[in-house]
């Protein structure tokens, strides 16, 4: 036996023991489904996804370096929580008060002095016009752009008005208008509604957006977009809102509602007499105040209007009047508008059907109406259409009525036809001659005209039963 063989035999028991130990350990190990995986490494807290690259974000500063407060907070906090800064004037109220130092110090304690009485620049510039001697006298308006920019991003009068136009017995005016728009003490200006008026409906369950003392951010942003208020050029819809729609008044015009209230019965004035387009308005961009041409219907040289309040007296309305000037064309109904061309009489349907149609200014038989069709009816029930010529009644209207009776029904009712067609037509006189054979030629030329009143069974069959052939029995005279 060689030396290598003896060495292998010496290690054989040790190798067999190692294999037996490994097999025993493998047999005692739990199955793979019961094995505990190694502990996972802790993951960092989830972060908000980055905004899409194609989504436009609101800028946080203006062209002159001014800070857009809401846009800045939305960028830093990820979203706006209105209740952090805006608090109610009292418990249970929906009216808000100006944010004070207490609200600011919750996040900005280092920006105030040691007594927490005054903030350091530029934080103080959010509310104060001065960065040095600050007090309550140099506070900016609250809301910040009230009367300068629209505080709502969208509003539809059409969805809020009473479709029946019911009136308030206490005032005699439309109840839906006076409920939201309260007048100042002088009765000059109709104020815009605030949270108190809106909450009358929007605090009820199921009405969105919700307006409750809880000041939920979702409810607030249902009406307001503060980023757009600070930067009105950020969206196109904001750029279309006129200044008169924001302020509710003309700068150089003297106007008072209370004076018109006094003449309400005399001139049959209601809210929509002047604001006739409001019930159709669906956004802030199509809101407008009455134009000067709307005043002509009452303030023209009518004898019922006192001289001091006629259109020729500029000082009545204009604060910046100039003497020695003629009355502008727009101030009178005596001059035909430029668009009233020769073809306008026939092709005026689109202009008359527009929401801001001013037909009633010159046409006294037309009244201002929200529904443009009512304006059309006022003219077309008293004016003959151009097709109603001298021959129309005798032999033309029947053919047109047979083709399209809907057009006839615009002005006429069914009994209008009956009143004439129950009378004996002129062609039937003298009746004995017409019945004795004079009707044959007319019946052969236009049987449809006969069947307007007669049927074969109740008229023709009395004489022609068994004798009437498909060919006419009337022979033409020989020449």
DSSP string, 358-369: -HHHH-TT----
* pLDDT at residue 25 is higher than 80: no
Tell me the pLDDT band of 242, cut-offs 50, 70 and 90.
confident
- Please give the Cα distance from 150 to 242 (Å, whole number): 9
What is the mean pLDDT of the segment spanning 426-452?
84
* pLDDT at residue 454 is higher than 50: yes
Threshold 0.75, pTM exceeds: no
| Residue 190: strand, helix, or coil | strand
| Structure-model confidence comparison of residues 254 and 366, the more confident one | 254
- Please give the Cα distance from 363 to 366 (Å, whole number): 6
b/e 93-131 (16+ beta carbons within 10 angstroms → b): ebebebbeeeebeeeeeeebeeeeebbeeebbbebbeee
Question: Residue 88 is inside which H or E element, if any?
Answer: strand 87-88
* pLDDT at residue 28 is higher than 60: no
What is the mean pLDDT of the segment spanning 328-356?
71
Decide if 74 contacts 82 (C-beta within 8 A). no
Task: Look at 24-33, 90-99, 246-255, 424-433 and tell me which has the smallest mean pLDDT.
Answer: 24-33
Task: Look at 212-226, 435-449, 455-469 and tell me which has the smallest mean pLDDT.
Answer: 455-469
Query: Whole-number mean pLDDT of the chain?
Result: 76
Domain range annotation of the chain = 392-450
- The whole-number pLDDT of residue 202 equals 93
Closest CA to 62 of 131, 145, 130, 134: 145
Closest CA to 314 of 293, 328, 297: 328
Closest CA to 237 of 155, 356, 145, 355: 155
* pLDDT at residue 199 is higher than 90: yes
- Please give the Cα distance from 15 to 38 (Å, whole number): 32
* pLDDT at residue 267 is higher than 70: yes
Q: What percent of the chain has pLDDT over 70?
A: 75
Question: How distant, in Å, are the alpha carbons of 90, 414, 433, 436, 453 from that of 460?
Answer: 90, 26, 16, 12, 12
Question: How distant, in Å, are the alpha carbons of 115, 132, 431 from that of 438?
Answer: 116, 109, 9
- The whole-number pLDDT of residue 326 equals 55
Q: Which range, 249-253, 381-385, 462-466, has the best average confidence (pLDDT)?
A: 249-253
| Structure-model confidence comparison of residues 53 and 239, the more confident one | 239
Which tens digits make up the pLDDT trace of 174-189?
Answer: 889 989 998 888 888 8
Closest CA to 421 of 380, 450, 444, 383: 450
**Number of Cβ within a 10 Å radius of residue 476:** 7
Burial class (CB in 10 A: 0-12, 13-18, 19+), 186: exposed
């Amino acid at each position: 036996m060689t030396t290598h063989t003896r060495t292998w035999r010496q290690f054989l028991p040790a190798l067999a023991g190692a294999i037996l130990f490994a097999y025993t350990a493998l047999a005692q190990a739990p199955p793979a489904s019961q094995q505990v995986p190694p502990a996972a490494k802790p993951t960092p807290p989830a972060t908000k996804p980055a905004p899409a690259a194609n989504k436009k974000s609101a800028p946080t500063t203006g062209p002159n370096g001014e800070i857009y407060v809401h846009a800045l907070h939305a960028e830093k906090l990820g979203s706006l929580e209105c209740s952090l800064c805006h608090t109610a004037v009292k418990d249970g109220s929906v009216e808000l008060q100006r944010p004070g130092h207490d609200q600011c110090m919750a996040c900005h304690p280092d920006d105030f002095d040691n007594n927490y009485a005054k903030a350091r620049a530029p934080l103080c510039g959010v509310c104060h016009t001065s960065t040095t001697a600050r007090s309550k006298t140099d506070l900016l308006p609250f809301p910040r752009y009230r009367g300068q920019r629209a505080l709502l991003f969208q509003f539809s009068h059409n969805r809020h008005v009473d479709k029946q136009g019911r009136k308030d017995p206490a005032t005699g005016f439309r109840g839906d208008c006076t409920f939201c728009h309260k007048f100042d003490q002088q009765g000059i200006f109709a104020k815009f509604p605030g949270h108190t008026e809106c909450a009358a409906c929007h605090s009820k369950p199921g009405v969105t957006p919700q307006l409750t003392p809880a000041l939920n951010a979702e409810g607030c942003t249902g009406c307001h977009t503060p980023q757009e208020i600070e930067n009105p050029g950020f969206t196109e819809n904001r750029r279309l809102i006129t200044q008169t729609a924001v302020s509710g008044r003309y700068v150089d015009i003297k106007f008072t509602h209370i004076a018109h209230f006094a003449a309400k019965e005399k001139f049959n004035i209601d809210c929509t007499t002047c604001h006739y387009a409001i019930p159709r308005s669906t956004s802030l961009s199509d809101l407008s105040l009455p134009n000067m041409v709307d005043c002509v219907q009452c303030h023209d040289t009518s004898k019922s209007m006192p001289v001091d309040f006629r259109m020729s007296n500029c000082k009545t309305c204009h604060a910046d009047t100039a003497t020695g000037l003629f009355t502008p064309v727009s101030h009178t109904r005596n001059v035909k508008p430029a668009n009233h061309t020769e073809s306008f009489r026939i092709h005026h349907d689109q202009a008359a059907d527009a929401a801001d149609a001013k037909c009633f200014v010159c046409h006294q038989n037309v009244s201002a109406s929200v529904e443009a069709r009512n304006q059309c009816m006022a003219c077309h029930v008293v004016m003959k259409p151009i097709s109603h010529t001298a021959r129309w009644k005798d032999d033309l209207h029947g053919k047109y009525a047979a083709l399209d009776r809907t057009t006839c029904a615009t002005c006429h009712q069914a009994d209008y036809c009956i009143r004439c067609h129950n009378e004996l037509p002129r062609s039937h006189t003298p009746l004995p001659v017409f019945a004795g054979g004079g009707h044959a030629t007319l019946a052969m030329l236009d049987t449809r005209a006969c069947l307007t009143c007669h049927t074969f069974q109740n008229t023709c069959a009395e004489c022609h039963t068994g004798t009437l052939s498909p060919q006419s029995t009337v022979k033409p005279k020989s020449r």
